[in-house]
Every structure is written in C-alpha cells, then in structure tokens.
Homo-oligomer: A and B are copies of this chain.
Amino acid sequence: MNLSTGRALVAQGGGPTAVINQSLLGVVLGARKYPQITGIFGAVQGIQGIAEENLVDLTETDASELERVGATPASALRSTRIKPTPEICGRIFEVCKAHDVRYFFYIGGNDSADTCRIVQEEAEKGGYELRVAHVPKTIDNDLKVTDHCPGYGSAAKFVAQAFMGANLDNRSLPGVYIGIVMGRHAGFLTAAAALGRNIPDDGPHLVYVPEVTFSKEKFLDDVNRTHEKFGRCVIAVSEGITDDKGRPIVEQFTGGEKDAHGNIQLSGTGALGDLLSSWVRAGTSISRVRADTLGYLQRSFAGCVSEVDQTEAREVGEMAAKYAIGDNQDGSVAIRRIGDYAVEYFLTPLESVARESKSMPKEFINKDGNDVTQAFLEYARPLAGPLPTMAPLSAPAVNKILDA
C-alpha cells in the first residue's frame, strides 16, 4: 500500500458515453476506501479544467447522489477535446502539486492515456510522487491491450436496436436504407448493427467498416445484388470508411471541419449518408433510398444501457483506485475475458494504451469485406447484452380468385 497521503483528482475526457459516469462513481467510491486519501477533487472539463484550476470537491458528495449521476449518460464533469500540449501537461502537474494531489485518474480513450503518460513523466522529472491511472472509456472499442472498452457495450446495444427497427421499417416499406455509424478507424460499433439479426432476410445485409478499403463500384454491385435477392437492402456504414488512397469517403462531399487533433469532422453531419444515397440513386435503378446518420444518439441516448457495460464501467473505476492507491502502481486498467462470459481486470502500462488504437481483427470481417463474421457476433453479444425480441408475422397466403 502506498502510504503517501494526499488528494485524488478525477477527470473525464473525449466523447461521452452512456456509462462514463459509472466509472466516475467507481473512482470516487473506490478512493474513499483508503485512509491516505485526504480529499477527492473532480476536474470540470477534463484537462482544460485542471489547467484552469477549475475543480470541484467530491469528498463529501453523497453516495446516493453519485449513484444517480452514475446512471446518467454523458460526462457529468463535462469534457474537453483540447490537445494535451507539453505546456498543458506541465501545468496539470503544477496544479496537482499545488492542491496536494497524489493520485490522478483520467477516464478516457487513447488520447487520455497518452495525457496520463506525459503527466506521469512530468511528475517523475519534478521529483513529485504522483500515481496516474487511466480508466478506459470509448464507444469505438479501439483501445489496445484490453479485450473491450467500457462504453462500447451500451453504444453497441443502441446501434443494434436502431438497426433492428430500421430493418423492420425497411421490410414494411422496401428500398435501400443506409445507416451511418460512428467509428473513425475501428469498425466495432458499425459491426454491432448486425447483432439483432435473427431470420435469414434480416438486415443489415451489408456492413462496411473502416478496416476495409471502400470501393464505390463494389458497393453498388453489393447493393444491386442484395436488392435483387431480398427486394430491399439495409446497409450499415462506418463514418470512417476510406478509399484506396486512405482518404475518407466523406471528403468527396465536403471539405469538413477539423478538430484540435487534426481529425476531420465525421459526425454531426449527414454528408456521408447523403453522398452514398446519391451514388445508389445514380448507379442503380432503385428509387427509394434513405440514409440516416445515427449521430450523437448512439453515445448518449437516455435509457439504452447494457447492464454488463454499466457494471464493468463501474468496476474499472474501482479497480483504478485499487491499483493506484492500494498497490501504488501507474497504468491503464484493462479487461480480460474469461469463460463465456465473465471478466477479470489487470493493469497495463500507460504507454501500451497511449496514442495508438486497435482495429477489428481480420477474423471479425467476412472475406468479401461487406459483412461481419460469426466470431464477431460471439465476441460482441455478451457486451451489448440481451436485445428486444422481434417476431415476424407468418401466415398462409390466400388463393387468388380474380387473378387466378
């Protein structure tokens, strides 16, 4: 046990998830178990809030209030997308020192893990004892080392249910339906569109992920073939699909807005869906073509949470407190899948998670590059949890009299 007495500081970074506040709850209640913790601060708006000394005191927040906050989607401490420059990381270290923070918990994705790594290095250079724990969170499910990421299961459940409904809607009013799903580099969330398939003609009939180079010609071939077979076609497309030169397909529609990390804006616009629709209209004889962009709903819709995801999001927070405070170790909390289905947690070095991200393994994508495999469905089903039961109507046809 680390006997260095001091405060804990917790922050949330990047895009919110439906269960990110469970991790906050886990860190706060986890930290309270240790007598060397003299107080628990939260940073408002992530590392930006720390840099601006914009902190709140969670030391005495009631557990019942924290439980209610935990059940609420989107970062309760607010978030930020600012880039952790060396200046900002230096400043974070200074603020920690000034406020006697000895344990820093950052809930976020690979950018946040990198921030953790840099802050820890700064502290070490400055001879200041600071334990830094990265608490994994991302709907993209693209963190390295861990089997999967808290936040993914709930988003996957939302995407699955969205496509279950869209599939039935498309069966009742046939045509081509394109649903654009979040995921800049990794197709895990788009792939989840297939989780609700049940009977043979259920969509999505085609799934396009960023791991596979997107070809307009192949896409139109796929759509035509599927439409001929089923009289309709439901398609899940990742916002991050790229052409053979690695350029985002959406760039063919718009120059796009870039964020602080230099990433082009993919979400919050219907551009990609409308582009693909126009291709189908021009390149096939199908007249009814519709595109939805699932947008922000998939990461923050109120009332669609995977129970497994909720539990694990809380546990990674609690484990982070245990590793950092109880065991005096820096690192990122990771999940190992054991059995079918249970998990155990372990600590992985910050640098093993920082910066780089993970793509879908090849065995999750079919040979044609336009669907997922059974291996993916088995991987993702326990994460999204049970889905609603949908039943088609089967009834015998009536013999024609007039046209007989």
Interface residues of A (CB under 8 A from B): 12, 15-16, 18, 21, 41-42, 52-58, 61, 65, 68-69, 71-81, 94-95, 98-99, 161-162, 164-166, 168-169, 171-174, 177, 196, 267-271, 273-274, 277, 289-297, 299-304, 387-398, 400-403
Contact = CB atoms under 8 A, between A and B. Distances in A.
29 contacts: A16-B169, A18-B165, A53-B398, A53-B403, A61-B393, A65-B393, A72-B168, A73-B168, A73-B169, A74-B168, A74-B169, A74-B171, A76-B393, A79-B173, A81-B173, A99-B401, A165-B296, A169-B296, A177-B296, A268-B289, A269-B277, A269-B290, A270-B270, A270-B271, A270-B293, A271-B274, A274-B274, A292-B296, A292-B297
A58 B395 contact: yes
Number of copies: 2
A169 to B, nearest CB: 4
A21 B301 CA distance: 25
B302 A161 contact: yes
A151 to B, nearest CB: 13
B274 A391 contact: no
B296 A166 contact: yes
A82 to B, nearest CB: 11
A165 B302 contact: yes
A302 B393 contact: no
A302 B164 contact: yes
A16 B271 contact: no
A268 B291 contact: yes
A242 to B, nearest CB: 20
A347 B294 CA distance: 40
A166 B297 contact: yes
Contacts of A162: 297, 301-302
A84 B170 CA distance: 21
Contacts of A95: 402
Contacts of A290: 267-269, 295-296
A396 B184 CA distance: 37
Contacts of A61: 393, 395
B391 A65 contact: yes
Contacts of A18: 165
Given A73-B165, A171-B74, A269-B274, A303 B301 contact: no
Contacts of A396: 56-57
Given A161-B303, A268-B292, 13 more contacts: A42-B393, A56-B396, A69-B392, A69-B393, A78-B174, A94-B402, A98-B401, A165-B297, A268-B290, A274-B274, A292-B293, A292-B295, A302-B387
Nearest to A14: B173
